Structure 1
């Protein structure tokens, strides 16, 4: 297995401004399979990248945060990058939609946060993500396609995620993710990751190559038979 270091542009952690909650609303959620829950949806002032990211507080998240200074179990957190094709249209070229559905139920059961981050296409945007799909259809893998477009393999930055977590008092978390770079960036910016909890493997004929490349190229925790 070959693992490549991702080249990311990250601001100095010490210079991250303090984010402030601007709005908190309760939104009932229902998924196509019938699963339903309720989320406290928070928006923020002063996010470092100026984007409209959301924090969804699920389950008994307040109790999880309140017990952090006492040494209790940290809240379960998933930073989920927006994927219009997968989250909304159910595309099987990736595993984003099933991961989002899984994360909401698991976090609701344990108490914690889903961070919905506006970082489509590993940070390159929707149009260029679709351009990358066309290059993948011509034979490139998901990372090589980004490079062929003159973009980084993964341009996502989790500084705003750290700001949101610190704004609600979550300076220590259990991270629901298969991606080791998420843990590295969160810890670099001041959020302790007590545990990395992998998501399920949402394998289909259409995304097998995509998942295999993520496992082999960037050490995602994926047990693909």
Structure 2
């Protein structure tokens, strides 16, 4: 089961309704990765996000053309909601697959036109220190979900209302979702974002993250072909 955090939502006509967010600023940021790949992103910030956090939307490639094609009935833009992972995204930790997924997503979205949403939801929403506490429990034999529960937290406390708000604010009400996590698709549909297709990421398997990836498949139905 996925735990959610409190947020100002109302259930209406079978969907969850949130107040609209408003773009507040847009700036071009050149992205450069350690393997030499680079692209430019239009980084958009917002006012009025449901949880009050500083989430970012990175518009990549021909995102405006992708929106135009979708509005004309064509293929929806490719979108990845990516939860912040300091250890994986910044320090290259192999205990998870977050860093390689981020690198993969930026290039794939830039090639097709779409959006990467960088979400301040460290540790499936429990925070950095608690995530490291969960790592210590995993070293005793618990899986990633059991460790969160042992800390008195939910298996996954992330809520994707802010993703729906940001996508709606830039006119992306129908998307192709780049994710292995079925909960992301279910939540976004509930918040009124049409998921035209679920597109899996590659499998970034290492000796250090094998148990972690297996737990995601077994416990929450992630679409990962591990062997």
Q: Into which bin does the TM-score normalised by the smaller protein fall? A: over 0.9
Alpha-carbon separation, structure 1, partners of 2:25 and 2:68: 20
Alpha-carbon separation, structure 2, partners of 1:44 and 1:218: 31
Alpha-carbon separation, structure 1, partners of 2:158 and 2:131: 13
Match of 1:20 in 2: 22
Match of 2:4 in 1: 8
Partner of 1:123, secondary structure, is coil
Shift of 1:70: 1.2
Shift of 1:14: 5.0
Match of 1:46 in 2: 48
Counting only pairs closer than 5 Å after superposition, residues 56-205 of structure 1 correspond to structure 2 as 56-205=58-207
Question: TM (normalized to structure 2)?
Answer: 0.95
Call closer, same or farther: CA 1:187–1:14 in 2, change over 3 Å: closer
Alpha-carbon separation, structure 1, partners of 2:47 and 2:61: 24
Partner of 1:80, secondary structure, is strand
Shift of 1:32: 0.2
Partner of 1:39, secondary structure, is strand
Match of 2:35 in 1: 33
Call closer, same or farther: CA 1:15–1:173 in 2, change over 3 Å: closer
Match of 1:215 in 2: 217
Shift of 1:8: 2.5
Alpha-carbon separation, structure 2, partners of 1:14 and 1:77: 20
Q: Summarize deviations over 1:181-208 as a string: whole Å, max 9, x none.
A: 0000000000000000000000000000
Gaps of 5+ in 1: none
Shift of 1:72: 1.0
Q: Summarize deviations over 1:120-169 as a string: whole Å, max 9, x none.
A: 00000000000000000011110000000000000000000000000000
Alpha-carbon separation, structure 2, partners of 1:115 and 1:15: 20
Shift of 1:7: 3.2
Shift of 1:69: 2.3
Cα RMSD, aligned residues only: 1.0
Alpha-carbon separation, structure 1, partners of 2:68 and 2:169: 13
Alpha-carbon separation, structure 2, partners of 1:142 and 1:7: 14
The alignment covers a number of residue pairs equal to 221
